[in-house]
Amino acid sequence: MKTALSSFDLRALVAEWQELIGGHVDKAYQKADEVILRINAPARGKVELFYQAGQWLCLHDVENKPESPPPFAQSLRRLLDNARIQGIEQRGFDRIAVFHLERGGEPIDLIFEVFGKGNIVVAKKDTIAAALFPQTFKDRAVQIGEEYRFPEAGLDPLELDRSAFTTALRTAKGQVVRVLASVLNLGGTYAEEICLRAEVEKQTKVKELSDAQVDGLFTALNNLAVAVDQEPHPRVVFQIGRAIDATPIELAQYRDFESREFSTFNEALSHYVTVAEPQTAMAENVAAKFERRIAQQRESMEALRDEAMGLEAQAVFLYGHYAVFDELLKAIREGRTPPEHAQIKAIDRKEHAVTLAIGDFDAITLDYEKDVTANAQALYDRRKDALAKAQRVDEATTATRAEREAAQAKAVKVAKRPRIKSTKSMWFEAYRWTIASEGFLILGGRDARTNDQLVKKHLKEGDRYAHADVHGAPSTVVKDGARASDVTLGEACEFALVYSKAWSAGLASGSAYWVLPEQVSKQAESGEFLPRGAFVIRGKRNYIHDLPVRMAVGEVEVEGHRKIMGGPVTAVAARSARYAVLAPGKGDREAITRKLAAVFVVPIEEIARAMPPGSVEIVESHGIEA
């Protein structure tokens, strides 16, 4: 399961970030180890660059940003406000991204370290002006006022020719997948991918590789680099419904896995980090911490029990050889030479202690001022203490296991809690909207004001206008409707009907019509008055009768972005595998809106904008549990 960026990932991201050049830094936010920079980009408007220390760096919108900036965010605002982006690069093949900025004629480097515990550094003329985590290493200091020095560069495998690649591989030791991952700086996922593409068993020892296999690995590496640079196919990969990776290209190792494609790797990674965030990684990390503690406790308990058994054996041995030890202790007290069958290892005159090697025991420590019985009792007392300690450790281990289960459950619950994120805003969301099954955009007014606005601004020659045969229905525009078939025009009429008062009246069916743009006028007949949002239709109306008052709300993709769309069932079903079919009913509209928001993991407002005007019931669901 992916928990951080790889060097290939960063390479793909930096290539996509080139469209940010010429933009300027607008604002900085921070929450613990997460930092967000808002950037005004020339081609995209406002975007957010999201950084989580040592893990993620991508364009990713974050809700609920803290308005009160911590000290580091304050420093970023002070140093980078309105700084213009002059260039963006990856340092070699390392997980380091450098944003070259300019502010008031002064060059500034903004450096993101996306490895280890991570860091963000602002450097002016190579001198550190701010650092997220000031720290000192044996070979460099990341401290304000110090010269910024990059960590020692790792090997860049993409700069190696065939000969240098062969040398780097053959001079290393171990399994080929481990050498590719660590020595050649490729990371585990891409090391396995190269082995798979070269048809080399990943556990093969480097020294056992044939020349043909080495050539195959070199070719696979370069093909992988070409794919990332020139033929990206970003996607999020799922296993049993759970997201496990986000990749800039299609990987052979995931060929049989479910995946969802995105137009850019940034979008794929943003989706992975939020909606498809790995839900068990947190629980697994929590479990690992407790497992280490339990292992230490178990080791301590076993050592105490072994100590108790050893002390008991020594006491039994003392009693079993009472006369021998009685004579030995007397000899030591009196300063005489002890019997030959006992080897004295040490005598501590201050503590009256003698350590002996005797029988099967390498070391028995006794008090020579005491007799055999007193020494044996002291051993039994120490045994009792050791067993008592072992019992307490055993109880602590049981408590740790219970604590682990509770912490794991909490971690899973927190991880599964959707981190709600609005989908990307589109211009047409100012109106009601849907996309017909044939791909035509259908727009409808939300109220009198937007009815007026829609017709005045967006009803053009070549479009079509639809309206339900119900008072107060929305004006509906089919963009480029002159090229649409009767299927799309029928869906536009359905759209106008379901968002009319026919829904709140509980009707099962109704009628609507469509006309040409020139038939729609704001000019009332002489002596009549047209209220806001109303229009006069002159000429023939093309009626469609017996239209169902039924609609669907589902998850669709529009211009590479995930959106929630409402509309005729046929329109939604044509482009969504996850949707709910609604009909007028006695259900609680707000409760059903909340339920669908939870199912699709979007803010309630996004579902509410797609819902019909009245009480509803979910009559069917596809790809979701609703």
- pLDDT tens profile 287-327: 667 887 888 888 889 889 999 999 999 999 999 889 889 98
CB 107 within 8 A of CB 114: no
- Host domain of residue 187: 156-231
CB 83 within 8 A of CB 108: yes
Regarding whether 411 and 455 lie in a shared domain, the answer is no
State pLDDT tens for residues 547-569: 999 999 999 998 888 899 999 99
Q: Can you give the pLDDT at residue 417?
A: 43
**Range list of H helices, 437-550:** 448-458, 486-498, 501-504
Phi, psi of 51 (to 5 degrees): -130, 130
Inside any domain, residue 420: no
CB 236 within 8 A of CB 272: yes
In single-letter form, the type of residue at position 79 comes to: L
CB 491 within 8 A of CB 568: yes
What is the C-alpha to C-alpha distance for residues 277 and 172, in angstroms, rounded to an integer? 36
> Which residues of the chain fall below pLDDT 50?
277-281, 415-422
17 DSSP assignment: G
CB 513 within 8 A of CB 467: yes
Nearest to 423 by CA among 583, 557, 287: 557
What distances in angstroms separate CA 198 from CA 170, 176, 231, 253, 615, one per listed residue?
A: 17, 12, 19, 12, 60
- Strands ordered across the beta sheet of 579-587: 561-567, 551-558, 579-587, 616-622
Residue 591 makes CB contacts below 8 A (sequence gap 6+) with none
619 by DSSP, 3-state: which? strand
Nearest to 566 by CA among 586, 589, 582: 582
Inside any domain, residue 339: yes
| Beta bridge partners of residue 553, listed in sequence order | 566, 580
CB 57 within 8 A of CB 50: yes
| Beta bridge partners of residue 558, listed in sequence order | 561
Q: Can you give the pLDDT at residue 278?
A: 44
CB 111 within 8 A of CB 123: yes
Regarding whether 537 and 463 lie in a shared domain, the answer is yes
**Range list of H helices, 171-252:** 176-178, 187-198, 211-230
Regarding whether 360 and 455 lie in a shared domain, the answer is no
Nearest to 416 by CA among 562, 241, 557, 262: 241
Q: Can you give the pLDDT at residue 423?
A: 60
Inside any domain, residue 422: no
Regarding whether 616 and 489 lie in a shared domain, the answer is yes
* E-only strand ranges, 305-456: 343-348, 353-358, 361-367, 432-435, 441-444
Inside any domain, residue 300: yes
Regarding whether 450 and 394 lie in a shared domain, the answer is no
Q: Which two tokens stand for residue 147?
A: 């010269």
CATH classification of the domain holding 128: 2.30.310.10
What mean pLDDT is reported for the chain?
Answer: 89
What is the C-alpha to C-alpha distance for residues 24 and 45, in angstroms, rounded to an integer? 10
Task: Please report the DSSP string for 382-393 in residue order.
Answer: HHHHHHHHHHHH
Inside any domain, residue 89: yes
Domain count, the chain: 5
Inside any domain, residue 510: yes
Regarding whether 164 and 61 lie in a shared domain, the answer is no
Regarding whether 555 and 489 lie in a shared domain, the answer is yes
Q: How many angstroms separate the first and last alpha carbons of the chain?
A: 29
Nearest to 396 by CA among 500, 319, 469, 300: 300
Nearest to 106 by CA among 84, 87, 121: 84
Regarding whether 392 and 337 lie in a shared domain, the answer is yes
Q: Which two tokens stand for residue 130?
A: 């701010």
499 by DSSP, 3-state: which? coil
Inside any domain, residue 76: yes
Regarding whether 249 and 226 lie in a shared domain, the answer is no
What is the C-alpha to C-alpha distance for residues 214 and 415, in angstroms, rounded to an integer? 42
Regarding whether 169 and 122 lie in a shared domain, the answer is no
Inside any domain, residue 179: yes
Our CA dihedral for 182, 185, 189, 191, rounded to 10 degrees, sits at -80
Q: Which two tokens stand for residue 591?
A: 């409760």
Q: Can you give the pLDDT at residue 138?
A: 85
**For the chain, what percentages of helix, strand and coil (3-state, to nearest 5) are there?**
40, 25, 35
State pLDDT tens for residues 195-230: 999 999 999 999 999 999 999 999 999 999 999 999
Regarding whether 269 and 227 lie in a shared domain, the answer is no
Regarding whether 499 and 449 lie in a shared domain, the answer is yes
341 DSSP assignment: T
With b for 16 or more beta-carbon neighbours within 10 A and e for fewer, the 355-385 pattern comes to: ebebeeeeebbbebeeebeebbebbbebbee
The answer to pTM > 0.85 is: no
What is the C-alpha to C-alpha distance for residues 157 and 154, in angstroms, rounded to an integer? 9
